[in-house]
Amino acid sequence: MARSPETTPTLEVRALHKAFGSEPVLRGIDLSVARSEMVFVLGPSGSGKSTMLRCCNRLEEPTSGEIFIEGDRLTGPGVNLNAMRQRVGMVFQSFNLYPHLTAMGNVTLALRRVQKKSRAEAEAIAAEALDKVGLSDRARHHPGQLSGGQQQRVAIARALALKPTVMLFDEPTSALDPELVGDVLAVMRDVKAAGMTMLVVSHEMGFAREAADRVIFMDGGRIVEQGPPDQVLGAPTHDRTRAFLRRFHA
C-alpha cells in the first residue's frame, strides 16, 4: 500500500455489508471520498444512509467489508478504535448534546478526557471551535438554553474541535424549524471552505446543488447512481433516482 498522500482517499469504504439479524441493510457499498471533497448522500427512507454513515464511525459494526481513514484501517480487530474515532467527526440529527454540560463543556470533554489536554488548553481550542460556528457568546449556556440551530452548531463545534480528518453529518437539519436551517448550512459551508472532507446525508437539495462536489443516490442498501450534483439532480439516469427526485420537486 505504497500510495502517495495525494492519491490516498481520505475516506475509503470497500465492499461494506451490514445486516441486522437476517435483514440485509447494506449490500456492498464501495465509496471513496477525496481530501476536501463534500459528498452528498440521498435516498429514500430505509435505504441504509444512516447505517452506512454509522459504520464509518463504527457505531454500527459492519458485517463485512473494510473502511480506511487516510489509508489507516478503521475496521477489523486490533484497531485503536477510540483514537480512530477522533479522526471521524459525527454530527447527529438529534444533536445529542450532553444536557448536564455547558456548550464549552460539551466541546472540551473529549479534548480533556481522551486527548488529556489541560483545561486551559482544551478551552482555548473549544473557544476557537465555538467561534467558527458563531457561538462564542453562548459558551457558558447549557443545551436547554439554546435554540435547536444553536445546539446543532455546538454539536458541529464538538466534532470540529477534535480536528477530524473527515466529518459525517446525518440529516443535521431535519430536526430544525425551517428558519433555523440556514444558520446550520452556513456553518457547514464554512467548514467546507476550510478544507474539511465531508460526507453528508441530507434532503437539502438546494444546498446539495450549491455546495456538494458529488451526489450519491442510495436505494436498497446499494449505491444506485453517483456524479456531480447537476447530473444526478438534474439529469438522473436511473428510474429510482428519478422517482425519488420527483417527490421533492412536486
Partner 1 sequence: MDRFLDTFFNAEVLARYAPSILDGALVTVVLSVLIVLSGIGLGTLLACLRAYRIRPISFLIVIYADILRALPPLVVILVAYFGLPNVGVVLSASVVLYLVLTLVLAAFAEEIVWAGITSTPQGQWEAARSTGLGFTQALVWVVLPQAVRMVIPPLTNRAIAITKMTALGLVIGVPDILGNASTAQSFSANASPLTLAAIAYVILFLPFVIGSRWLEARFARPGA
Ligand X SMILES: Nc1ncnc2c1ncn2[C@@H]1O[C@H](COP(=O)(O)OP(=O)(O)OP(=O)(O)O)[C@@H](O)[C@H]1O
- Which residues have a Cβ under 8 Å from the Cβ of 237 and sit 6 or more positions away? 225
Contact 98, 105 (CB under 8 A): yes
- What nine digits make up the cell of 128? 476557537
- Looking at beta carbons only, is 9 or 89 nearer to partner 1? 89
Binding mask 150-189 for partner 1 (x = CB under 8 A): -----x--xx--x---------------------------
Q: Which stretch binds Mg ion (CB under 5 A): 1-9, 46-54, 83-91, 234-242?
A: 46-54
- What nine digits make up the cell of 49? 444512509
Sign of the Cα pseudo-torsion (154, 159, 163, 168, in order): negative
Choose which of 15, 30, 46, 119 interacts with ligand X (CB under 6 A).
46
CA nearest neighbour of 221 among 35, 6, 16, 31:
16
- Looking at beta carbons only, is 156 or 208 nearer to partner 1? 156
Choose from partner 1, Mg ion, ligand X, none: what does 162 bind? Cβ within 5-8 Å by kind. partner 1
In which element (H, E) is residue 24 found? Answer: strand 23-33
Residue 108 binding Mg ion, by CB under 5 A: no
Choose which of 85, 138, 153, 214 interacts with partner 1 (CB under 8 A).
85
Choose which of 15, 46, 73, 113 interacts with partner 1 (CB under 8 A).
113
Distance of CA 52 to the CA centre of its chain: 11
Please give the backbone phi and psi of residue 76, each rounded to the nearest 5 degrees, phi first.
Answer: 90, 170
**Smallest distance, ligand X to C-beta of residue 115, A:** 30
Interface with partner 1 by CB under 8 A: which residues? 57, 59, 82-83, 85-86, 88-90, 92, 94, 96-100, 109-110, 113-114, 155, 158-159, 162
